[in-house]
Structure 1
Amino acid sequence: MSPPILLTVDDDPEVSRSLARDLRQRYGEEYRIRRAESGRAALEAVKELKLRDEQVALLLADHRMPEMTGVEFLEQARRFYPKARRVLLTAYADTDAAIAAINRADVHYYLLKPWDPPNEKLYPVLDDLLDDWKAHDRIKSDERLRVVGHRWSAPSHAVKDFLTRSQLPFKWLELERDAEAERLLDAHGGDAEHLPLVITEDGTVLQGPSPGEVAAALGVASRASQNFYDLIVIGGGPAGLGAAVYGASEGLRTVLVERDAIGGQAGQSTRIENYLGFPSGIAGSDLARRADAQARRFGAEMVLTSDVSSLDVCGSARVVRLGNGDELSAHAVLLTTGVAYRTLHAPGIEELTGAGVYYGAAASEARSCENEDVYIVGGANSAGQAAVFLSRMARSVTLLVRGPN
């Protein structure tokens, strides 16, 4: 497969050549650099690339161009490459227009001209955007982990939701919808009464596993590497991840214990618009992935799919007992257990939970909602975000709100 493309658009030939030169110097070994000198020419190039089934990782356009502005180009190019990272190049006087473009064209970032020195003003931004693009491209293209399940199977939903929230690439194969699902179930002697059937990259077959068993098969740490730490953080939401970053960056031996997937309730959000430092918004799973990588870079340890059963004091140490029987001790324990969704109290709801009734599962259940009528109980932020997200696939989305507004 040919390397992905970085496409630049600027009507000033000198600026266009300079930008292409800087991009080639940094990214030339991994990407192909293409440039255009008008918005219309760039849009034609995008259409041609789409016809050839080429990958485009980045679209970088100058704001002030005749006939078609950079914002107009990015807005139209988005239809052909919605996953490409979009960057607007602008002068300081046009920053208001650039900020408006974040909403209009879903621009990921804007850069000010001039960008010298590129090591400080260009490359750090593009490095981050391209790393983000590669992470999403990996999730989309790597489907060597296969999960056979049924849409009305609560255990299937639990595994699918864990993998989705953890951003672990997998191929979901639904019985009664995907022919391959039946073939795999028969080939591996699976039982439709005990779903899901999980087949890992190395051929390991798991029948009816829990999320923790799937995590273990994939090499996700569910046990700590040592018995004593300076800091134990219980809970893997934004607060816990932040504590892990701060503790580990100060040289403390830090371990974070999370009973499910990293990210907490925020990690289940399809879009967070008001998180500091992300002007174009960020998906909760992306925020969790970035924070996880940051904490690990400083040396923090992550122990996932592990419940904490008790907390005790032994002399100057705090002792944390896990559900699997392990004991961890530390000088300090920080509780960042966050919140949980309020549950519905209605006859029969427990039997349907995970099998038609879901809590915060818009991302993992989106495909199952295609051309279906979806009802969302609640009227706050999470409900609104889920409604916007699911409306792209569902036949209809109805909010059921208890209050008058």
Structure 2
Amino acid sequence: MVEDNTDVAQTAPIILVSAAGEAGRSAIAALRTRYSADYELVVVGDPADASGAAPAAGQAERPAEALDAVVAGPAEALDAVAARRAAALAEALDAAAAAHRAIALALVDAAAAGDGGSLAGMRERWPDARRSLLIGWGGWADAVTTRTLLELASQGRVDGYVVAPDSPHDESFHAEITGYLREWAVASAVHPARFTVVGDDGDPRVHAVRARLARQGTPARVIQSEQPEAETLRTLGRPSAAVLVGTPSGDVLADPTDADLARAAGLTTELPDHEVEVTVVGAGPAGLAAAVYAASEGLDTLVLESGAVGGQAGSSSLIRNYLGFPRGVSGADLALRAYRQAWMFGASVAHARHATGMRVGTGGFELDVDGTDRVRTRSVVLATGVSYRRLRVPALRAFVGASVFYGASSVEARAQRGRDVLVIGGGNSAGQAALHLARFARSVALVVRGPSLAESMSQYLIDELADAGVGLRTNARVVDARPSAAGDRLGAVVLEHTDSGDRDEVPTDSLFVTIGARPHTDWLPPEVLRDQWGSVITGAEVLTEGGRRAWPHDRPPEPLETSAAGCFAVGDVRRGSVKRVAAAVGEGSVVVSSVHRHLGELQLG
């Protein structure tokens, strides 16, 4: 499914442009002005026609002939011109691939895009490259342009569109371009990693450390224990350690805890020594929204997060349907933006700290943290989310964390280059994971229990999966597993057909499981009413389920309030919640008004 381009030459990455007319000329002029120091501008087409004049000596722009590509020439008919331009784009891409060049961004107009075949091929050769359609001002009102854009986007062949600039210094145009280039830089890890992880690929803790660092916004490179550089770090650390982490300060952490990694990245793990007004447990979308609104409204706010900021959503490679992000946004990026927003409003965030118990008192709560520390708080917002349920297949246990992963960790995607991957699950999380994995893996297939994806997955994802060549195995479940020939990782799984009971052994190198949901509520006291699955009951359902024994107060519970007055639940941990990021953010924001009312009641006595 993907061509290995690990030997890409260490030269300037390419911004490739194939666009004619005024839109093409203005875009090329703007790109040449702003990006020539760091990127090579390659124009597919006649430079004089595309830019209005031949490039001056010493300018970064160069025509596609420099990469042995064919330049599109004049033709008698419009569709013939489009065909020649599409062919020129294809040959320019072939030439760049043959030269082992990195492409950061391809900016093409509708004529050069053609049927999108060349753009689809880019995903196979340059999985991290961004592809955008260039349109002139007002082009969105043109039926043909709109149809082309929407078709290419629905097929996953372009990431979005850019409106041509009205001058070389059009900052709206440059904001879009730099957005694309930033996405490419993050995805392709072009910036030097500040952390170095030493360990064996088969050690689950190595994978966990790398994922933890990446989710903190501090990606790391991994070197195997037998490499010469590893010996240098071992002399600085503890030679017997299974995992070593070299930090930007020069320190070497031996078998670090999550708290050690957080502190090494400059994040605080400290708890306040005074009573706070509200403690938010969990920093997923719901918890971060609650923190932003509580802190912005002047409440003394503490956030406890045991894992990485962003929760389950933070591991998503791309959330396409979140409001306000036309090209989509990665879960990690969305989480880091929300975290910084909460921090700027004054919320305190204690990273890598686990809430392990809670006591309900008169006028407040006491939270146990990591079993030894205490936090006093006047109100609590539970936003601990859910985790994926473990498959009841004993043969998989030996590979968990190394080649079997619970969740859709985007960090692991690049490591699947050249491998065969199965994704278990039929929801949007599974679809997003499969799409991201398909950029790197040799093959990707979804395994679902039902007869189709229609009832559990958004249609746009179903369409993109089909276009990306992701396979689908319906009416199937994993019942057994086999090790690889070397015995150090997964080699195959056994699938049982739910309609017939027949079993097939399917070779696979990695398995990503995104099914089921187990709320993180085992640590809560009996005063917080939960259903048989552990989901927290809130609002009017507290009285329906528990009656006056569960809620002895004169007033009815607030809509998101639990059976313990002053303790609220938002997001996936709450029974009846809609499992969408936007819904979680909405609950996290609106719960703060209930927190204010509860604090007002406490003041009145």
- Tell me the TM-score normalised to structure 2 length: 0.55
Report the equivalent of 1:210: 257
Partner Cα distance (2:34, 2:249) in 1: 36
1:86 aligns with 2:131: yes
Residue 154 of structure 1 deviates from its aligned partner by 3.3
Pairs within 5 Å for 1:196-345: 196-224=243-271, 227=274, 229-250=276-297, 252-312=299-359, 316=363, 318-323=365-370, 325-330=372-377, 332-345=379-392
DSSP 3-state at the match of 2:262: helix
Verify: 1:110 aligned to 2:161, yes or no: yes
Does the CA contact (< 8 Å) of 2:27 and 2:164 recur in 1? no
User: Hey, what's the Cα distance between the residues in 1 that align with 2:374 and 2:446?
Assistant: 47
> Counterparts of 1:290 and 1:88 in 2: how far apart (Å)?
27
Indicate how the Cα distance of structure 1 residues 181 and 349 shifts in structure 2: closer, same or farther if over 3 A, else same. Answer: farther
Q: 2:202: which partner in 1?
A: 152
Tell me the secondary structure at the aligned position of residue 401 of structure 1.
Answer: strand
Q: Cα deviation per residue 1:249-298 (whole Å; 9 max; x = unaligned)? A: 55555443210112211223344444444455444334334433444455
Question: Retained in 2: the 8 A contact 1:64–1:70?
Answer: no
| Residue of structure 2 aligned with 1:122, choices 173, 181, 190 | 173
- Structure 1 residue 31: deviation in Å? 5.8
State whether residues 425 and 446 of structure 2, in contact with CA within 8 Å, keep that contact through their aligned partners in structure 1.
no
Q: Which amino acid is the alignment partner of residue 18 of structure 2?
A: V
2:405 to 358, 380, 383: 358
Counterpart amino acid of residue 184 in structure 2? W
Other-structure match for 2:227: 179
TM-fit CA distance, 1:334: 1.9
Residue range with higher mean Cα deviation, 204-213 or 269-278: 269-278
Shift of 1:80: 5.1
> Could you say what secondary structure the match of 2:381 adopts?
strand
SS at match of 2:357: strand
Q: Shift of the alpha carbon at 1:88?
A: 1.2
User: C-alpha offsets along residues 44-101 of structure 1, whole Å, 9 cap, x if unaligned?
Assistant: 6666666777665433222245xx5495664455555442332212312222321221
| Compared CA separation, residues 258 and 75, structure 1 to 2 (3 A) | same
Could you list the per-position Cα deviations for residues 216-242 of structure 1 after superposition, in whole angstroms to 9, with x for gaps in the alignment? 223222225774555432212222223
Q: 1:22 to 1:271 in 2, by over 3 A?
A: closer
Uncovered stretches (5+) of structure 1, i.e. residues with no partner: none
Aligned positions, number: 398
Q: Partner letter of residue 337 of structure 1? A: T
- The SS at the match of 1:303 is strand
Whole-Å separation in 2 of the counterparts to 1:53 and 1:304: 41
Q: 1:381 to 1:21 in 2, by over 3 A?
A: closer
CA drift of 1:310 comes to 3.3
The corresponding residue for 1:19 is 27
Q: Which amino acid aligns with 2:106?
A: L
What code does the residue aligned with 2:332 have? S
**Residue type of the alignment partner of 1:401:** R
Distance 1:234 1:26, change over 3 A: farther
CA separation of 1:332/1:97 partners in 2, compared to 1, >3 Å: closer, same or farther?
A: farther
| Structure 2: segments with no counterpart, 5+ residues | 1-9, 45-49, 51-71, 73-84, 448-475, 479-496, 500-605
Secondary structure of 2:311's aligned partner: coil
One of 145, 159, 165 as aligned partner of 2:215 = 165
Secondary structure of the residue aligned to 2:405 is coil
1:197 to partner: Cα distance:
1.8
CA contact (8 A) 1:71 1:105 kept: no
Q: CA deviation at 1:106?
A: 3.4
Q: CA deviation at 1:213?
A: 1.7
Instruction: Spell out, residue by residue over 1:192-212, the C-alpha distance to the aligned partner (whole angstroms, 9 max, x if none).
Output: 6x4112222333122222222
Listed one character per residue, the Cα deviations across residues 104-129 of structure 1 (whole Å, up to 9, x for unaligned) are: 35322223567699868534433433
Query: Partner amino acid for 2:19?
Result: D
Q: Kindly tell me: are residues 102 and 292 of structure 1, through their superposed partners in 2, closer, same or farther at Cα, counting changes over 3 Å?
A: farther
Q: 3-state DSSP class of the match of 2:184?
A: helix
1:135 aligns with 2:183: no
Q: What amino acid sits opposite 1:9 in the alignment?
A: S
Match of 2:19 in 1: 10
Partners of 2:30 and 2:168 within 8 A in 1: no
Secondary structure of the residue that 2:23 maps to in structure 1? Answer: helix
**Distance verdict in 2 for CA 1:47–1:328, change over 3 Å:** farther
CA contact (8 A) 1:71 1:88 kept: no
- CA separation in 2, counterparts of 1:292 and 1:301? 10
Q: Which amino acid aligns with 1:179?
A: Q
Q: Which secondary structure state, in structure 1, belongs to the residue aligned with residue 387 of structure 2?
A: coil
SS at match of 2:386: coil
Which residue identity lines up with residue 168 of structure 1 in the other structure?
A: T
Q: Which moved more, 1:19-28 or 1:204-213?
A: 19-28
**Cα distance change of structure 1 residues 404 and 30 upon mapping to structure 2, 3 Å threshold:** same
Of the structure 1 ranges 352-361 and 205-214, higher mean CA displacement relative to structure 2 is found in 352-361
2:553 is matched with which residue? Answer: none
Of stretches 17-26 and 114-123 in structure 1, the one that deviates more from structure 2 is 114-123
Q: Is the 8 A contact 2:281 2:303 kept in 1?
A: yes
Residues 372 and 121 of structure 1: is their aligned pair in 2 closer, same or farther, counting only changes over 3 Å?
closer
Correspondence for 1:393 among 441, 444, 450: 441
Whole-angstrom CA distance in 2 between matches of 1:211 and 1:299: 24
Query: Which letter does structure 2 place at the counterpart of 1:183?
Result: E
* 8 A contact 1:140–1:169 mirrored in 2: no
After alignment, is 209-218 or 356-365 more displaced? 356-365
Taking the aligned partners of 1:103 and 1:210, their CA distance within structure 2 comes to 43
TM-score by length of 1: 0.77
Closer, same or farther: CA 356–312 of 1 in aligned 2, 3 Å: same
- Name the structure 1 match of 2:466: none
Amino acid at match of 2:309: I
User: Judging changes above 3 Å, is the alpha-carbon distance between structure 1 residues 380 and 360 closer, same or farther for their aligned structure 2 residues?
Assistant: same
